[in-house]
Chain A
Amino acid sequence: MANVPFSDDDPRTRLKSPIVAPGHTPATVTDKISTVITAETPKWWFLGAAAAFGLLSIFLLSVGMLFYKGVGIWGINNPVYWGFAIINFVWWIGIGHAGTLISAILLLLRQNWRNSINRFAEAMTIFAVACAGMFPLLHLGRPWRFYYLLPIPNTFELWPQFRSPLIWDVFAVTTYALVSILFWYVGLIPDLATLRDRAKNKFAASIYGILAAGWRGSTKHWHQYEVASMLLAGLATPLVVSVHTVVSFDFATSQLPGWHTTIFPPYFVAGAVFAGFAMVITLALPLRYLFNLQDFITDTHMDLMGKVMLATGLIVVYGYAIEIFIGWYSGSPYERYMLLNRMTGPYQASYIALFVCNFVAVQFLWSKRVRSSMLALFIVSMFVNVGMWLERFVIVVTSLHRDFMPSSWGMYQGTIWDWSTFVGTIGLFLTLMFLFIRFLPMISIFEMRMILPEASKAKKEKH
């Protein structure tokens, strides 16, 4: 978008290795990315999409069972009313955050290496938010009355209670989903025009044509377009920070030990970016291998994403350290007990595993060799994906299962239906992802053209 490439002597262009392989022109970039869509569907796509759809069917089955029997099929109990539903909601919504970070914040910071990863990272955001949105709705008990959450004039004359963080969450997540879709669509318009103009049959041409809204690439249009992109990026940046902040308010505004803490908003936001980058790496590695896109998603990208993951991981670990410190420093017997219980109680194994995943595994990223080994990077990102899920598990369960009164203590574990719903949303996510890579350009074509040598040629002519 507006991150026009810098001149050759600009220090910001001096990355040690290129962000796009040499020898590419607008024609080759257009060809290579759009051929993924116009070519015959590869066999592995059918296999992958079928597997993803299989998982999605598990989701439909689990939801069907849930509607039939109610939330009693889940492991939630007294005192742990918030189980997998909240854990998965926070996990998924956190994953989405890297997409907005890449598309908005890195755009404002003029990091043009983002141009090849922003499109599918944004798609990941939208699909992750879709998965996240499932859980609060399913957790309602009467999901068909979800519209009670919204401020809609109704015959009961009931209105939401606006002092509650739960209604803030409704607004934050809805806004986030809508703005992410808008941002994604605006970014797609010029590429949809490319697909319209390259379509091999009339049907595809008209579908892409309708979606492209008659885009013709006029300089006057491009100018308004770039202004719009920058404004959207400027709006999305505070939005993405606000979303996980509001999610953390669900916890932080309560009176429970382990939740009632001011570190939560920044710690949740850092954790979200951390988890999101791990997921971007998890998706980017197989995609660039399967579609042979190493020219555009280069090792430099992987190296840079590894560094972002390391940096945000350290912020998250700082959050863990502060939690422990405050547990002691607050002098509150409940806080102290909660922490001791977390470290030595029945969920000790989860707590240790979370440290191994989010702290120990990530330290390998200090090494350049690990960051340039795709297998090692993939393994670390998988550790982080698991670790961030465990983090939410530990936060939700250890604070709840030991109530203030020992007579109310309980234990929590997910049932088979909890797991099948969770695995099912992974199926939903993968199904959407498979459809996306088949029908839309997974790399922003026009933004790739902008970082080619040909685009900086005109620059030197500048009067």
Chain B
Amino acid sequence: MSAVTTTNLHGMLAEFDDPEAVVEAIHRTQEEGYTDFDTFSPYPVEEFADAQHAHTSWLPWIVLAGGVAGALTGWALQFITSTEIYPMNIGGRPFNSWPAFIVVMFECTILFGAFSAVFGMLALNGLPAPYHPLFNVESFKRASQDRYFLCIEAKDPNFDAERTRAFMESLNPIEVNEVEE
């Protein structure tokens, strides 16, 4: 491997072919005192999330807010148009015939909720992100296929290119690569 240049390094990336080894590696990385690291897998592995304590999400609250906004929008649309803007006498029923408005309110709740779920998820994940330093590593292409990766980022206070590489080599990876910025 070439000499380590610390100037513009995003982090150090270890490649694994076994999810069990990654769970072990996450624990050891934490014991070593690293905090700015992440793992990558071709499918969601609950054990990685457990080990990284990635269990909180604001998404349900975002979706709740979206759903409530949808319900209010649906109600306001029907109430205002049916009573103020364009009141129509249909069979002598009241202008504000709210039971008939339930269906559209319901559909708007679902619609706004679903949009908040999708765009909320993308926003919380910082996507779309067409460029990311990890894509500079050729072997990272397999993160979407059959390999598992652990990346310790350079911004971690404990990060030191040589020491971190030595530590990562001790985790029994297939290989360790530098990630250039």
Contact = CB atoms under 8 A, between A and B. Distances in A.
A454 interface: yes
B75 to A, nearest CB: 10
Interface in B76-93: 77-78, 81-82, 85-86, 88, 90, 93
A242 B109 CA distance: 12
Interface residues of A, number: 73
Interface stretch (B1-9, B128-136, B154-162, B164-172): B128-136
A188 to B, nearest CB: 12
B30 interface: no
B19 A455 contact: yes
Interface in B120-166: 120-122, 124-125, 127-132, 134-135, 140-146
B144 A215 contact: yes
Nearest to B85: A159
A455 B111 contact: no
Contacts of B46: 4, 459
Which range holds the interface residue count of chain B? 35 or more
Given A186-B118, A209-B130, A219 B43 contact: no
B38 A220 contact: yes
A242 to B, nearest CB: 6
Nearest to A447: B43
Contacts of B111: 174-175, 178-179
A30 B145 CA distance: 6
A227 B60 contact: yes
Contacts of A249: 103
Given A222-B49, A461-B20, A214 B43 contact: no
Contacts of B69: none
A4 B46 CA distance: 8
Nearest to A28: B146
A333 interface: no
B121 to A, nearest CB: 4
A185 B118 contact: yes
Nearest to B100: A163
A172 B54 contact: no
B43 to A, nearest CB: 4
A82 interface: no
Interface string A229-256: 0011001101100100010010000000
Contact of A197 (B86, B101, B103, B144): B144
Given A4-B46, A159-B86, A190-B144, A239 B110 contact: yes
A407 interface: no
Nearest to B127: A213
A371 interface: no
B47 A458 contact: yes
Contacts of B131: 214
B40 interface: yes
Contact of B85 (A26, A157, A196, A455): A157
A462 B23 CA distance: 9
Given A214-B131, A458-B23, A182 B42 contact: no
B63 interface: yes
A438 to B, nearest CB: 20
B48 A162 contact: no
Nearest to B124: A224
Given A161-B90, A214-B130, A235-B114, A462 B47 contact: yes
Given A171-B104, A455-B19, A455-B45, 7 more contacts: A30-B145, A175-B110, A179-B110, A219-B49, A223-B57, A228-B118, A458-B22
Interface of A: 1-2, 4, 25-27, 30, 151, 157-163, 165, 167-168, 171-172, 174-175, 178-179, 182-183, 185-186, 190, 193-194, 196-198, 209-210, 213-228, 231-232, 235-236, 238-239, 242, 246, 249, 446-447, 449-450, 454-455, 457-459, 461-463
7 contacts: A159-B85, A168-B104, A175-B108, A209-B130, A219-B38, A222-B49, A224-B125
Q: Which 7 A-B pairs have the closest CB atoms?
A: A213-B128, A214-B129, A228-B121, A27-B146, A222-B44, A197-B141, A458-B19
